[in-house]
Structure 1
Amino acid sequence: MTSHARWKLSRDKQIAEGISESPEVERMREEIRMAHDLGQAVYDRRTDLGISQTELARRADMTQPQISKLELGGTMPTLPLLARLARAMDSALSLELDGDTSRVAFTAHTPAA
């Protein structure tokens, strides 16, 4: 593991554990939490569909490692990418931000009657 990778891992761990209380660390902790929540929402919908990361990647014009990184909270996608993911999972994306709380959900489209 490179020195930079060790430093980043240590920093992320400290942020996640709330060791420091500076405004910068608070902001970073919030970003990590939101990335994790988004990744969990992608994972939940993908598994509800019963598809693999590879299949989701194909549908969303991404790669399997990109899906994996997203599900692990390692990246914060752009709005166009979120729209592609929602389409790829036949879902609507709901994102609620209210002060210190947020909620992310991919909700299945209801079949036309």
Structure 2
Amino acid sequence: MVSHAEWKRSRDRDAARGVAESPEKAKRREEFDLAWDLGQAIHDQRTALGLSQTELARRAGMTQPQLSKLELGGTMPTLPLLARLAQAMGCALRLELVGDTSTVTFSTITPAA
């Protein structure tokens, strides 16, 4: 899989040359951007909680290399995996997809009194 930085460089080169993005490439970019956004949200929440990749992976029933690849946008997680990660971090996950934009947020679950 191509890294996020490589995608950005390729897109910037094409834009500088005045090359229009093909519909297929635009679709792949949107998919990659979503994987990147999900990975970044997981990374941000994990670090905010002070968890190592190893600890979060253990809690979520996965390996540290799998979590690392996910955080780098190198894989698209399934919904069951996202649910396990949210539960492992004691968080709620909100994923909003509107058109070609996405918003991913984790929020800490407050225990009921």
Task: Give TM-score scaled by structure 2 length.
Answer: 0.84
**1:40 counterpart letter in structure 2:** Q
Matched, 1:56 2:49: no
- Per-residue Cα deviation, 1:6-56 (whole angstroms, up to 9, x for no partner): xx549x83x433235111100111111111100110001101110100000
Q: TM-score, normalised by structure 1?
A: 0.84
Which residue of 2 is the match for residue 67 of structure 1? 67
Alignment of 1:1-113 (within 5 A): 9=2, 13=6, 15-16=7-8, 17-18=10-11, 19=14, 21-113=21-113
Any unmatched runs of 5+ in structure 1?
1-7
Per chain length, whose mean CA-contact separation is higher, i.e. which structure has more relative contact order (CA < 8 Å, sep 6+)?
Answer: 2
In the alignment, the residues of structure 1 paired with residue 22 and residue 77 of structure 2 have an alpha-carbon distance, to the nearest angstrom, of 26
Gaps of 5+ in 2: 15-19
CA RMSD of aligned residues (A): 1.7
Amino acid at match of 2:106: F
- Matched AA of 1:77: P
Amino acid at match of 1:52: S
**Residue identity in the other structure for 2:72:** L
Q: 2:24 corresponds to which letter in structure 1?
A: E
Aligned length: 104
1:110 CA drift (Å): 1.3
Instruction: Provide runs of 4+ in structure 1 moved above 4 Å.
Output: none
